[in-house]
Structure 1
Amino acid sequence: MSYDDVEIEDMEWNEELQAYTYPCPCGDLFQITKEDLKLGEEIARCPSCSLYITVIYNAEDFLADQNSKQNHQPPKQQQAVTVA
């Protein structure tokens, strides 16, 4: 059983860790990455103790983010072929 259920809006984005974080009672931070969320993971774990929380979020928000990144990548450059 998880320690708590936490809305993603109540978590903070940590640029250094590249993860959403939430304070753990032990003094460390529960952590979950965007990649975890895109894969449907909903458990944020504390690296210092055995506690974990269930993250409440809309998976479609993260899938839409992933799809938009794929659609906006620059096209691959083609090599120019010279014929002599």
Structure 2
Amino acid sequence: MSTTYDQIEIEDMTFHPELEMFTYPCPCGDRFEILLDDMFDGIKLAVCPSCSLMIDVIFEVEDLAEYYEQAGIALPEGIAA
């Protein structure tokens, strides 16, 4: 059983529209990463590619609409504008 390092609100993360990815600083010096589409698919764990830490991202699917718009991507079915 794995545990998460912390719980982070989506608003506290940095969104990179060109990568369609959210990031958050990791204590190891790298950053936690999670893709927008993965979040839409129900994944809520952002992982650090340099260490074993993970964070639990707190969001609602409806929160993702503004990020799809920022990235210039059509909203998937299931998200209201």
TM-score (norm 2): 0.73
For the Cα contact (< 8 Å) 1:38–1:63, is it kept in 2?
no
Structure 1 stretches of 4+ with a deviation exceeding 2 A read 14-18, 60-65
C-alpha RMSD of matched pairs (Å): 2.4
Identity of aligned residues (%): 48
Task: Give the CA deviation at 1:16.
Answer: 5.2
Larger Rg: 1
Structure 2, gaps ≥5 residues long: 67-74
Q: Could you give the per-residue CA deviations for residues 36-72 of structure 1, whole angstroms, max 9, x where no partner exists?
A: 1110100000000000000000123337932389xxx
CA distance in 2 between counterparts of 1:12 and 1:58 reads 17
Structure 1, gaps ≥5 residues long: 70-84
TM-score (norm 1): 0.71
